[in-house]
Amino acid sequence: MLRHQLPCSDEASDSGLTRRVEASENLLFCAADDFMMLFESSSAQSFSLNNVQRGHFQFLASTAPLDLQLEIAAAMDSPDEAPYLCMSDTRCRLCQFGLREGDSVVARIEYDRFSSEFSLRMNDTTHDKHEPFPVSDAFLAAGEYSFEPPGYEEHRSYNRIRHLLTPKLNDVLQTRLPPEILASVARLLVRECAIITAEAQSLGTNTSNISVDLSRDVYASYCVVDGVRYVNSLVNSTSGMREDKHHVLASKGDGAVRKIWIAEDHRGIRSVRLCPSDAALPGPTPIARSWWRSISAPCGFGKVNVKTDGVKLRDILVSDETAPEITGNLIGWANPEHPTNIMDLTTLRHVDEYPERFRMNSFSCNAKGTTGYTVVTDGDSVATIQSHGCADDTSFYVDIDASFPGSFFAHMPLDDGEYVTEICRRFALDAVDQPSVCLVFITNKGRNALFGTSGPPDSCRALDKILTPARDGTQIYFNVSDSVTEGLIRYLAFDGVQSPVQRPFPPSLVPNSPFFWTQSNEPWFVSSCDMEGIVELTLCRDLSLTHKPILGILVKYENGHRDCLGQFRYDKLLERVRVDRTAELYIGSRRTARSFLYVVDVLTSPPADREELFWMEISRGGTMEWWSSLRHSVVRHTSTKGQFTNMAARK
């Protein structure tokens, strides 16, 4: 196997560190028929893994060395991109007969632990040297995540390493190559560079629990991991520490520390604030994209235990003996200033017990400059909520797509002077009579937006008003969906205690559909708009799909009012269409190869070729409805001329 000589990224000081690819010295493999085969580390052959059940891959990854873990995991989804590993020879360890391409083999990981069968694919490989890749406890601990990172994090890290690596390749290769070639090479080496950098940072370190006396001077040192600053250590004295470690006085031991503020993310602790009083965090908090929690001791802290993975702090632990009146907030909040009461949406009661690693995100409701809200839902529950402003950052869509693939993006625009007056819980029954908890926003201009599925009329059991947001803005917190086992928004938190009040359903939220349900019991989402007075349409087209469907339409009227049909995302291709007040609309539809109905185009003049698509001619009057599922987009127009849909569209 080729040995790559790669430069480390900026966090690793040893630029000559070499990646040593391991073949695992005692890793046993066997042919499926004979049940045992051994591959050792002095290999000049390679094999690839595919067609292994996901559960067995997880088992392999939990026992194999790190390099093997990463490469095996990468093979789960794509046999065409199966990883390459080394073996000593192409013989079965039981019968000693040679193996051929496509033979079924079984891997023995330990004495009595085996993988399932997988198909063997072999290629000759050339290498100049083969060495074990050392995997220390500190190396593994430093790379262990406390919880799932945001979806954008991997993309950010990949691009950062690639940009840092590209200009360094000229020096390593000792030749001048065009920038586009260097960029292509760098893309292939991002993972290797990440491994080298992580190893360099963990060399000579050990995981530990260190006792720190907060009644004395406390010094903090910092490190940078993947471009992000973390707390490296908390100590009472800098004597005996490395000279290249820069320490900052975090607390002077002339007064009691009564509150500890901790900002952390999935990798570790990014900031520690030691405060003399149990009060709000003073000063600005520039620690972006982190979660805040606090520990309080009215009588002051004595000694605390600082847990480190060798590179950065992972936790601060306080025993009852050192601070008998300690109160710890184990919830991670998106902001250090947050409410204290948390409501369970399933019971509408306040709760005091939460899951481990529980985190609360937030959105601003009725903040100045808010232009609308996007709520991501699977139909029966809500996954996340996002408010929009004039200068929108669309990067949150990356995180949502990674965390909630296949979800529905329900968008509610706001007009000038419009704000939310009620937030309600909609309790209903889904297609198989299971409880469904979704949200409803009601505004001062009579807009009612249901962020959930539109089930049969008899499925709507109750609508409970749970919050009246302040007109000048209310920060509303909701649990991060992956911090609860249900994987949805179950908890809300906001300032002030408001008792839930049951109220009648707005008539506009009671569905009137002739086609509930489809064979797969899929959820349907309904939206509608008045056809009179429209002056502009903004089409939202998804170019990531091969058939490039229109997901939805943002409708603008001559009086400034706006409505939304279907889904709407600001990170998709947005096509603006000016509409004459009297012109008719022409909506062209088609079905995919699997007969899924979708909208292809919207025109303001008759189409030149009517044979290509199924066209609906919609007059400027009546109501247009957009019935969306995760597979279909059904358009229905109701007017004095009758009711028409696009369901007759063919492939």
Average pLDDT over residues 297-325: 84
CB 527 within 8 A of CB 422: no
Identify the architecture of domain 342-509 in CATH: Aligned Prism (2.100)
Helix or strand run (H / E) with residue 170:
helix 169-173
Neighbour count for residue 153 (Cβ, 10 Å)? 20
CB 86 within 8 A of CB 46: yes
User: What single-letter amino acid sits at 397?
Assistant: Y
For 588-626, what is each residue's pLDDT tens digit? 999 999 999 999 999 999 998 888 899 999 998 899 999
Q: How confident is the model at residue 567 (pLDDT cuts 50, 70, 90)?
A: very high
Average pLDDT over residues 141-170: 90
Per-position DSSP letters for 378-393, written without gaps between them: -SSSEEEEEEE-SS--
| CA separation for the pair 627, 647 (Å, rounded) | 11
> Structure tokens of 138?
């500190």
pLDDT at 152: 84
| Eight-class DSSP state of 98 | B
- Low-confidence winner among 316-325, 395-404, 470-479, 588-597 (lowest mean pLDDT): 316-325
For 97-149, what is each residue's pLDDT tens digit? 777 888 888 876 666 777 778 888 776 666 677 677 677 888 889 999 999 88
| CA dihedral of 481, 484, 487, 492, whole degrees rounded to 10 | -50
Average pLDDT over residues 473-481: 95
Neighbour count for residue 177 (Cβ, 10 Å)? 13
Highest mean pLDDT out of 123-127, 189-193, 406-410, 413-417? 413-417
pLDDT at 486: 84
Higher pLDDT, 423 or 402: 423
CATH dotted code for 208-333: 2.100.10
pLDDT at 101: 82
What is the percent of the chain where pLDDT is above 70?
A: 76
For 239-255, what is each residue's pLDDT tens digit? 766 666 667 777 776 77
Neighbour count for residue 360 (Cβ, 10 Å)? 23
pLDDT at 51: 33
Helix or strand run (H / E) with residue 142:
helix 137-142
pLDDT surpassing 80 at residue 489: yes
Average pLDDT over residues 572-578: 95
Q: How confident is the model at residue 19 (pLDDT cuts 50, 70, 90)?
A: very low
Q: Output the CA–CA distances (angstroms, integers) from residue 634 to 551, 565, 610, 651, in the order listed.
A: 11, 11, 19, 15
pLDDT at 18: 29
Higher pLDDT, 1 or 355: 355
| CA separation for the pair 137, 100 (Å, rounded) | 37
> Structure tokens of 642?
């009758």
CB 442 within 8 A of CB 424: yes
Average pLDDT over residues 38-63: 32
For 188-234, what is each residue's pLDDT tens digit? 999 889 988 998 999 889 999 999 999 888 999 999 999 999 999 99
| CA separation for the pair 493, 478 (Å, rounded) | 6
| CA separation for the pair 161, 191 (Å, rounded) | 9
pLDDT at 124: 65
Per-position DSSP letters for 420-474, written without gaps between them: EEEEEEEEEE-TTS-EEEEEEEEETTS-EEEES----GGGEEEEEEEE---TT-E
| CATH tag for 525-645 (out of 1.10.3470, 2.100.10, 2.40.170, 2.60.40) | 2.100.10
Neighbour count for residue 454 (Cβ, 10 Å)? 23
pLDDT surpassing 50 at residue 497: yes
| Topology alike, domains 342-509 and 525-645 | yes
CB 125 within 8 A of CB 45: yes
Longest dimension (CA), the chain: 88
pLDDT at 70: 36
Domain boundaries, the chain: 28-124, 137-202, 208-333, 342-509, 525-645
For 507-526, what is each residue's pLDDT tens digit? 788 766 655 445 556 788 99
Q: Output the CA–CA distances (angstroms, integers) from residue 133 to 29, 65, 126, 340, in the order listed.
A: 19, 8, 18, 48
CB 572 within 8 A of CB 542: yes
Average pLDDT over residues 13-24: 32
User: What single-letter amino acid sits at 354?
Assistant: Y
Q: How confident is the model at residue 150 (pLDDT cuts 50, 70, 90)?
A: confident
Q: Counting beta carbons within 10 angstroms of the beta carbon of residue 106, is it exposed (0 to 12), middle (13 to 18) or buried (19 or more)?
A: buried
Q: Which residues on neighbouring strands pair with residue 645, listed in sequence order?
A: 636
Task: Assign 368 to helix, strand or coil.
Answer: coil
Task: Assign 630 to helix, strand or coil.
Answer: coil
| CA separation for the pair 432, 600 (Å, rounded) | 32
Highest mean pLDDT out of 118-132, 174-188, 277-291, 428-442? 174-188
- The conformational region for residue 464 under phi > 0 = left, psi -120 to 50 = alpha, else beta, is beta
pLDDT surpassing 80 at residue 487: yes
Highest mean pLDDT out of 253-262, 452-461, 540-549? 540-549
Phi, psi of 187 (to 5 degrees): -60, -30
